[in-house]
Structure 1
Amino acid sequence: MSIEKKVWLISGALTLGLLVLLFKLLVALNHFEGDPTQLPDQASVDDYLQDLENLPEYQVRTGIFIKSFVFTDASDVHVTGYVWQHYEDGVHDAIKPTGDAVGFVLPDASDAASGMIEEAYRMDQDGEELIGWYFEQTLRQNFDYTSYPFDHKTVWVRFWPASFDTAVALIPDFAAYPATGPDDIFGIDSRIVMGTWERENTYFDYRLSDLGTTLGISDTKFQTNLPELHYNFVIKRNFGNAFVVHMIPLIVVTMLLFGAVMTVTRRPELIERHDFSTSSVIGTCSVLFFVILLAHVQLREGFAGSPVIYMESFFFLMYFLLLAVSVNTYLFASEAVPSLRFIHYRDNLIPKAGFWPFVLLCTVAITAYNLSLKADPEDAVVIEMLN
């Protein structure tokens, strides 16, 4: 077997092995771990509230149903739906909203004036008054896009009680949903138009407030450690759309670049057959550079203000490959720097055979790095993948 065949066999084996490793890394990157703080039942709520230094004077059962949502930009999501609360007769008389008053506050609303919260129904049942409100609000959150297009978004609706001078804890109305376990999806319309997203999970949890101010209220023992009720719905991006829009052009450009590398030769018969010249390869790289640059600008405009995202790293890799191919072609064709034997060896064999292993090795490194940012090093999924 000739040396050329051995080198190409090694290149093929490395390429196949790196493809398998890359697939495992992508599966791990696309995996979502449930939040350990979620509250699946009333017992978990009671345990949480009992551990607080200051127990709330009132507990108001609160539920939510999401009718629609849409991302208006990278940090805003417009949500519509219903919120309801139960006020027991003789227990909640002092804090029950009357008239046009609302029993909760949505502190994440970016423009409350343009939103809407209006009473939808009010009825007496089993010794309590049930009040429901319809709401339309744009909520502002700091979403993490670093794993795009394998990212998951946890969109939360954060509640404050409307009574700031009274220790009120809003508790989930678990009885209003068929099931609220760790793997159950509830409180969101099953027929909702998700667009490029898929439902992954829903849950309630508490997070202690950290306002850094007393809001001017003298008795702040409870207000400064307010257990804020959050309703969270986790959505996963549909990879297919991002693959068609961004990944396919990158793959095609990479294959065209590999084709340009394969035309580099000193053999007269191949030069004539491929019409090889240094200027033609560098010209091809120049054209591909502008194609990649325009695609990169389009991607970056969709995530303005966000750090470098996972997919964006491949554009930087492509810039390096375009430059490397151009430099390799020039040094090979001009027979410059003869000490660089890996360029001149057997008609540029090493750069040709090492093209795909190098590309995939960089891809694996980029994916592994993003996975390390996303997951805890002790996470079971990562450990299983590394083993």
Structure 2
Amino acid sequence: MSIEKKVWLISGAITLGLAILLIKLWSDLNHFEEDPTQLPDQASVDAYLQDLPRMPEHQIRTGIFIKSFSFTGASDVHISGYIWQHYEEGVHDSIKPAEGEVGFILPEAADAANGLIKEAYRINQGGSELIGWYFEQTLRQSFDYTSYPFDHKTVWVRFWPGQFEIDVALIPDFSAYPATGPDDIFGIDNRIVMGTWDRENTYFDYRLSDLDTTLGIGQNEYQTNLPELHYNFVIKRNFANAFIVHMIPLIVVTMLLFGAVMTVTRRPNLVERHDFSTSTVIGTCSVLFFVILLAHVQLREGFAGSPVIYMESFFFLMYFLLLAVSVNTYFFAAEAVPSLWFIHYKDNLIPKAAFWPFVLLCMVIITAYNLSLKEEPEDEVVIQRHDEAGG
């Protein structure tokens, strides 16, 4: 077997191994880890509240049902649905909202004046009164797009009690849902239009408020350590759509670039057959550069203000490849640097055989790095919430 065949066999084996590893990393990057702070039942709520420095004076059962949601910007999500609360007679008389009043606050409403919260029903249930409101609000939240297109979004509805001068804790109304376990999806319409997203999980949890003020009410520790009830629904981006829009053009351009590398030769019969010249290869790289640049600009416009995202790293890799192919072709054709033996060896065999292993190795490194970034913040959040709960 000739040296050329051995080199190409080694190149093919390495390429196949790296491709399998890349698919494995993509699967890990696309996996959602359940939040350990989930509140699946009333016992978990009681345990959390008992670990607080002081128990709330009142507890109000609160539920939510999402009818629709849509992203209106990189940090805004428009949500509509129903929120309800149970007020027990003789217990919540002093804090029960009158008709036209609301028993909760959505502190992250971006435009509360143009939003809608109106009473939808008020039902006496014998010993308690159930009050429900219909709402439409645009909530402003910080979303992480660095893992695009393998990103998960945890959209939350954050609740404050309607009155601050009384110690009130809003607790989930678990009895209103068929099941609220860690793997159950509840509180969201099954027929909701998700667009390019898929439902992954839903859950309630608590997070202590980070207010650095008592809001002028007085030295009440409860105001600065308020257990805020959050209803969270986790959605996963549909990878197929992003793959078609962004990855397929990159793959096609990479193949064309590999084809340009394969035309680099000094063999007279191949030079004539491929019509090889330095200017032709560099011209091809120039055309491909503008194709990649336009695609990069289009991608960046969708994530203005965000840090460098995962998909964007591949564009930087393509810029490097275009430059590397141009430089390799020039040095090979000009024979200006004889010391670069790996360029001239066996008619540019090493750069040709190393093309796909190098591309896939870079993709594996980029993916592994982004996977490590995805895991680290989750660990920090778990530790932070554990400390907040007094654990």
TM-score by length of 1: 0.97
Residue 358 of structure 1 aligns to a residue whose secondary structure is helix
Do the aligned partners of residues 116 and 33 (structure 1) sit closer, same or farther apart at CA in structure 2, a change above 3 Å counting?
Answer: same
Name segments (4+ residues, structure 1) moved above 4 Å: 376-379
Deviation at 1:126, TM superposition (A): 2.7
* Residue equivalent to 1:385: none
Does the aligned pair in 1 maintain the 2:211–2:223 contact within 8 Å?
Answer: no
Residue 109 of structure 1 aligns to a residue whose secondary structure is coil
* Residue equivalent to 1:195: 195
Aligned CA RMSD, in angstroms, stands at 1.1
* Separation of aligned partners in 2, 1:199 and 1:317: 32
Residue 295 of structure 2 aligns to a residue whose secondary structure is helix
TM alignment of 1:133-172, pairs within 5 A: 133-172=133-172
Structure 1, gaps ≥5 residues long: 380-387
TM alignment of 1:171-250, pairs within 5 A: 171-250=171-250
Q: Per-residue displacement from partner, 1:307-356 (whole Å, max 9, x unpaired)?
A: 10000000000000000000000110111111000001010000000000
Deviation at 1:221, TM superposition (A): 1.3
* Separation of aligned partners in 1, 2:70 and 2:358: 40
Deviation at 1:214, TM superposition (A): 1.6
Residue 367 of structure 1 aligns to a residue whose secondary structure is helix
Residue 375 of structure 1 aligns to a residue whose secondary structure is helix
Q: Per-residue displacement from partner, 1:134-161 (whole Å, max 9, x unpaired)?
A: 0000111110011100000000000000
Structure 2, gaps ≥5 residues long: 380-391
Paired-residue identity, %: 83
Query: AA paired with 2:223?
Result: Q
Do residues 341 (structure 1) and 361 (structure 2) align? Answer: no
Residue 119 of structure 1 aligns to a residue whose secondary structure is strand
Do the aligned partners of residues 39 and 291 (structure 1) sit closer, same or farther apart at CA in structure 2, a change above 3 Å counting?
Answer: same
Deviation at 1:99, TM superposition (A): 2.3
TM-score by length of 2: 0.96
Deviation at 1:184, TM superposition (A): 0.2
Residue 242 of structure 1 aligns to a residue whose secondary structure is helix
Deviation at 1:378, TM superposition (A): 11
* Residue equivalent to 1:274: 274
Deviation at 1:127, TM superposition (A): 1.2
* Separation of aligned partners in 1, 2:32 and 2:118: 36
Q: Per-residue displacement from partner, 1:10-50 (whole Å, max 9, x unpaired)?
A: 00000011011111111111111000001000000001001
* Separation of aligned partners in 1, 2:163 and 2:116: 20
Query: AA paired with 2:330?
Result: Y
- How many residue pairs align between the two structures? 379
* Separation of aligned partners in 2, 1:378 and 1:336: 52
Deviation at 1:377, TM superposition (A): 10
Q: Per-residue displacement from partner, 1:188-224 (whole Å, max 9, x unpaired)?
A: 0000000000000000000000011221110321111
Do the aligned partners of residues 309 and 377 (structure 1) sit closer, same or farther apart at CA in structure 2, a change above 3 Å counting?
Answer: closer
Deviation at 1:376, TM superposition (A): 4.2
Task: Please identify, of 118-127 and 255-264, the stretch whose mean Cα deviation from structure 2 is larger.
Answer: 118-127
Q: Per-residue displacement from partner, 1:208-252 (whole Å, max 9, x unpaired)?
A: 000112211103211110000000000000000000000000000
* Residue equivalent to 1:26: 26
Residue 367 of structure 2 aligns to a residue whose secondary structure is helix
Do the aligned partners of residues 45 and 75 (structure 1) sit closer, same or farther apart at CA in structure 2, a change above 3 Å counting?
Answer: same
Do residues 57 (structure 1) and 48 (structure 2) align? Answer: no
Residue 70 of structure 2 aligns to a residue whose secondary structure is strand
TM alignment of 1:32-181, pairs within 5 A: 32-181=32-181
Do the aligned partners of residues 227 and 377 (structure 1) sit closer, same or farther apart at CA in structure 2, a change above 3 Å counting?
Answer: closer
* Separation of aligned partners in 2, 1:157 and 1:82: 12
Query: AA paired with 1:351?
Result: P
* Separation of aligned partners in 2, 1:59 and 1:322: 63
* Separation of aligned partners in 1, 2:126 and 2:185: 28
* Separation of aligned partners in 1, 2:288 and 2:295: 11
Query: AA paired with 1:50?
Result: Q
Query: AA paired with 1:102?
Result: V
* Residue equivalent to 1:351: 351
Does the aligned pair in 1 maintain the 2:213–2:223 contact within 8 Å?
Answer: no
* Separation of aligned partners in 1, 2:182 and 2:17: 36
Query: AA paired with 1:301?
Result: E
Do the aligned partners of residues 203 and 97 (structure 1) sit closer, same or farther apart at CA in structure 2, a change above 3 Å counting?
Answer: same
* Separation of aligned partners in 2, 1:214 and 1:9: 70
* Separation of aligned partners in 1, 2:377 and 2:339: 43
